[in-house]
Chain A
Amino acid sequence: MSCQLRFLQYNECSILVEWPAIIDENMLQDILRFKNIIKNNCVKENIEVITAYNSILIVYSYTIDNINSVFLSLRALYESQNNEQLIDSRIFKIPVCYDAEFAVDIENFSKEIKLSKSEIIKRHSEAFYTVFFTGFLPGFLYLGGLNSTLHLNRKITPSLNVKKGSVGIGGKQTGIYPQDSPGGWHIIGNSPIELFNSKQNPPCFIKAGDKVKFYPITKSEYLKIQNKVLLSTFNSKKLIVND
């Protein structure tokens, strides 16, 4: 896949590269490939590369003097890339407890979309979700691939305090709140897994291009995993299905 890209200066030291405004897995591969090439090409420079659905933002640690020459070299880099190269992608199985204690909005959600709770859990946990990028909060994954029968607009009045680990649905998206936060998504469960740990560098073990699958656990399994996480004896590598 090779796209018509838009290059623009974002501020004194950063450049935005934009793909067409769509959510697409092939385009995600193209974006991540380009990100890797940029990083490999700038190993000696201190740069930061931030990606989202259809963009890459390159932040340099200095003011860009000649913007046109940077645009030219970025274009040349993009055109030189090998489209065959696949982004390494892992599949993570994330435990979720869908018990009423955690699923504070599932009752109402079930009425709104006219599906039983067990059907919601089945459809939510059978899909493989693609991680498009991390944003909003430290460790918050933007996941694509939610079953369309589970789509429902955000709550009209957001909750002031959504608990850490909450698994929610908002519009066409599903995700996990990595910390306590205000939020407008319908909460249907909770995961004991820590998606962001500031004591580790890098602080997240799941990244853009990976896949995520949820699996239902009981309250006692939840507590067991939570305990391991608290004692820092939980090994996140065990969540990888295909290594």
Chain B
Amino acid sequence: MIKVLKAGFYSTIQDLGRFGQRSFGVPVSGAMDSYSSAFANALLGNDKQDAVIEMTMTGAELQFTNPTTIAITGANMHPELNGKSIEMFKSIKIEPNDILTFSRLLEGFRTYIAVKGGFLTETVLGSRSMIKGVTKAIKIEKGDVIAIADYVHLENSKNAKLNFKPKILSNTVLEVMIGPEFYKLSQAQQDALFEQEFHVSRYNNRMAYQLKPLFQNNLEPILTAPVLPGTVQLTPLGQLIVLMRDCQTTGGYPRILQLTENAINMLSQKNTSNSLKIRLKG
């Protein structure tokens, strides 16, 4: 078991999401930065479906009641075990009563904690990913007790460690594909999208990231049509809305661009202090 002593700003349980439920209007969900969450699971030899904790901006404070092994990836929130700094991107042995804390956000925006065998919270429609309207719990709260798989340390187990710093945190170029309504923009508007610099607005969450500044346009709304995480919608007011993992399944704004999977992961690690460029995937 894990006891949640502090939840952090916005922490949820996430796996790969609810594939196959979108025709019922159910968002796919899943880890915002799927690369970092998969990385954390891989370090422990977990199944890629295993659920992890996703923490946003500030970290949680967790106490373990039984031995296990964990791995931390994504944003660097300066993790500490019993008050001593620990490394990220490495499997870490945990003893009963160990307390995991995070002191401050140094780089990136979302941190992932994987535990050997995964977090065993409620499965709804094939996934443990928390989201309003589908799962009972919509985020991790102080006082929660989260079940984890039983695990006994192996005598000679070597700690897996991968010695590199993922580019996902430092990269500032969003790779995109052309969206279905891209060609409704004028040539000048199309060019401007790839020349201009954009900033992450304060309207950013698991549903969508809005970019600044406004992008003037005269596009008409479309008949409500399917959208996916990574779809960039352009509103009549000029808001560029990048849909993220918890987005609706359909929308009525023109879809001018589509982020690659990599670009979604990268954007998930950005906050209001970041500026971005958009580049067409080669």
A residues with a Cβ closer than 8 A to B are 8-12, 14, 16, 18, 21-23, 46, 48-57, 59, 61, 133-140, 142, 178-179, 196, 198-199, 201-204, 207-208
Contacts and interface: CB of A to CB of B under 8 A. Distances in A.
B20 interface: yes
A8 B180 CA distance: 8
B162 interface: no
Contacts of A51: 23, 226
Leading 3 A-B pairs by shortest Cβ distance: A135-B250, A57-B226, A134-B25
Interface of B (DSSP majority class): loop
A50 B26 CA distance: 11
B256 interface: no
Interface string B216-237: 0000001111101010000000
Contacts of A139: 24-25
Given A11-B260, A12-B260, A48 B223 contact: no
Interface residues of B, number: 32
B223 A196 contact: no
12 contacts: A21-B222, A48-B19, A50-B22, A52-B223, A56-B226, A134-B23, A138-B25, A196-B24, A196-B133, A198-B124, A198-B135, A207-B23
Contacts of A61: 19
A136 B248 contact: yes
Given A10-B258, A12-B260, A53 B224 contact: yes
Contacts of A21: 222-223
A48 B20 contact: yes
Contacts of A196: 24-25, 133
B133 A53 contact: no
Given A11-B177, A11-B260, A14-B228, A49 B23 contact: yes
A137 B133 contact: yes
B185 interface: no
Given A10-B228, A11-B177, A137-B25, 11 more contacts: A10-B180, A21-B223, A52-B226, A59-B228, A137-B248, A139-B24, A142-B224, A178-B133, A198-B134, A201-B125, A203-B26
B261 A135 contact: no
The CB with the most chain B CB atoms within 10 A, among A18, A178, A202, is that of A202
